[in-house]
């Protein structure tokens, strides 16, 4: 199921915050993640999990080191190139659903496709298919305010998948849900991962959930250990 070329490669990746005192949130991280892998990142809070996510998600820039995504060095890219990568190659699921409140579930899922420049019809087809996939065929015209936490999170997952990204990033995607719903969402992610052979990287506090991943990355004080 996995081929050998890494889809993500970190070489001595370091992120330093200068906030009066120097603080290394990520310290010389080296890591290779292959296509189709389901990776869980665990570690105590402040260990650098989110920083790692944001760097891989191209939302933040490293202080030093190299980050290759799909074989391309993304650390030297312009805003336009990075936005383009975020749009086409990356999909995000956050702890809170972070849907656009003024748009319906369908429109939210269509949005990344519209940003990519796809036609409305095409975007609508894809979004409808994905919303069916996550079990929300009856809720497409509802706005986030009219949906439950679990439903919104499923819309967010559909949105993350809309541009068929190579990599899906989840920052505590089940952290804000009750255990039963959380398990359900997690199972959904795992199923989609197997179905579409996309790489999933999920930050979690939950050791039970982490144990179901292909690879577990532990972060302690900005240093990586892989299991």
Partner 1 sequence: MYELKIALRQVFSSKKQTLFAILAVALAVSVITVMMAMISGFQDEVVTSSIENNPHIVINPQDEEEESIHLYRYKSALISEKEGVIAVSPKYLGQAALEYRDNAEGVYLQGVDPMAEESVMRVSEDVVEGDLMTLVHTRYGILLGDQLAENLEVNVGDRVDVVFPGSQTTSFKVVGLIHTGTSADEVTAYARFDSVQDFFNEPGVASTIEVRVADPYQADAIAGSIERETGLDAVSWSEANVEIFSFLEAQAAFVKIFYFLIYGVAGFGIANTLITIVAQRTREIGILKAMGTSQKSIMFVFLFQSMILGAAGLVLGTILGYIATVALQSYEIEIPPETYFGLQTLPLEVEPLNFVYAAFFAFIVNILSGIYPARKAAKLDPVKAIER
Binding residues for partner 1, rule: CB under 8 A, are 54, 57, 59-60, 79-80, 83-88, 90, 92, 94, 98-103, 111-112, 114-116, 159, 163
Query: Could you tell me the smallest distance in angstroms from the CB atom of residue 84 to partner 1?
Result: 7
Nearer to partner 1, 31 or 160 (CB): 160
Q: DSSP letter for 45, please.
A: T
Name which of 80 and 180 has its Cβ closer to partner 1.
80
User: Nearer Cβ to partner 1, position 26 or 34?
Assistant: 26
Residue 87 Cβ, how far from partner 1 at the closest point, in Å? Answer: 2
Measured from the CB atom, the residue of 34 and 43 that comes closer to partner 1 is 43
Nearest to 41 by CA among 217, 223, 220, 226: 217
Long-range contacts of 148-154 (CB under 8 A, 24+ apart): 149/97, 149/176, 149/177, 149/181, 150/177, 150/181, 150/184, 150/185, 152/97, 152/99, 153/93, 153/97, 153/177, 153/181, 153/185, 154/185, 154/188
Q: Output the smallest distance, CB 194 to partner 1, in A.
A: 25
Q: How far is the CB of 213 from partner 1 (least distance, A)?
A: 22
Phi, then psi, of 4 in degrees rounded to 5:
-85, -25
């Amino acid at each position: 199921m996995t081929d050998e070329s890494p889809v993500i490669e970190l070489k001595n990746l370091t992120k330093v915050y200068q906030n009066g005192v120097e603080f290394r949130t990520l310290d010389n991280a080296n890591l290779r993640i292959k296509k189709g892998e389901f990776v869980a990142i665990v570690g105590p809070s402040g260990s650098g999990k989110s920083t790692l996510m944001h760097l891989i998600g191209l939302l933040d820039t490293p202080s030093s080191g190299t980050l290759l995504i799909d074989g391309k060095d993304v650390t030297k890219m312009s805003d336009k190139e990075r936005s383009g990568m975020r749009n086409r190659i990356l999909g995000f699921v956050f702890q809170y659903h972070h849907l656009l409140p003024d748009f319906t579930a369908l429109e939210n899922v269509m949005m990344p496709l519209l940003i990519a420049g796809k036609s409305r019809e095409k975007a609508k087809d894809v979004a409808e298919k994905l919303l069916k996939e996550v079990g929300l065929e009856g809720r497409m015209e509802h706005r986030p305010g009219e949906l439950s936490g679990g439903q919104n999170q499923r819309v967010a997952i559909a949105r993350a998948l809309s541009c068929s990204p190579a990599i899906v990033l989840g920052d505590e995607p089940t952290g804000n849900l009750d255990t039963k719903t959380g398990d359900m969402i997690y199972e959904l992610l795992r199923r989609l991962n197997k179905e579409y052979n996309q790489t999933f990287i999920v930050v979690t506090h939950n050791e039970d959930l982490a144990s179901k991943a292909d690879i577990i990355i532990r972060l302690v004080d900005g240093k990586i250990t892989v299991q």
